[in-house]
Structure 1
Amino acid sequence: MTPAEETAIAILGWLANEPELLGRFLALTGTDPTSLRNAVNDPGFLAGIVDFLMGHEPTLLAFCEATCTPPEDVVRAHAMLSGPDNPGDF
């Protein structure tokens, strides 16, 4: 597993403890809780997890504070998982 994938999984783990945010993420992605286990094997889904966090700075900072993750690690994971064709909004 790459560091970017590990960051995405850490974000998902954090979201699992934030019911309101997890519900919003699932609604936006059209994923249901029972299909999460299989979805984490999809690189596009992992990119979506990081993109979700990157799309809202207060949520990004809350994740970083709660998990002691430097924001730069999330930015790096976003760049790696989104690829050169989809650099996202940094």
Structure 2
Amino acid sequence: MRQDEAETIALRALGWLAGNEELLPVFLGATGAGAEDLRARAAEPAFLASVLDFILMDDAWVIAFADGEGLSGAAAMQARAALPGGAVMHWT
């Protein structure tokens, strides 16, 4: 996946998260971001990566995002891997 495709998926994740009244406060509390940061930092690949990192913490969130956006269940993980800091470490 190219970085521009990953950023598009992450922006969709941000929109999905912003529309989730139960989960958005959890994200804001976990990241220390404020509501104004959602718009101001939406173009930053590192911030978008943090949105995907958050969603990827819980399988139920991944499934809800993917289902809500009509994406495959692996889309969030593939997008995260294509953004800065997303390289998977292999310890073998």
Q: Say yes or no: TM over 0.5.
A: yes
Percent of aligned pairs sharing the same letter: 34
Q: CA RMSD in A?
A: 1.6
Q: Deviations over 1:17-52 (max 9, x none)?
A: 111111111111111111221211222111100111
Aligned length: 86
More helix by share: 1
TM-score with structure 2 setting the length: 0.84
Residue matched to 1:67: 69
**TM-score (norm: length of structure 1):** 0.85
Match of 2:43 in 1: 41
- Counterpart in the other structure of 2:81: 79
| Matched residue type, 1:76 | Q
Which is higher, the Rg of structure 1 or of structure 2? 2
Question: What CA deviation, in whole Å up to 9, does each residue of 1:44-89 have, x standing for no partner?
Answer: 11110011111100010011111111122211101111332xx38x
Amino acid at match of 1:7: I
Task: Give ranges in structure 2 of 5+ residues lacking alignment.
Answer: none
Distance 1:46 1:56 in 2: 17
The runs of at least 4 aligned residues of structure 1 exceeding 3 Å deviation read none
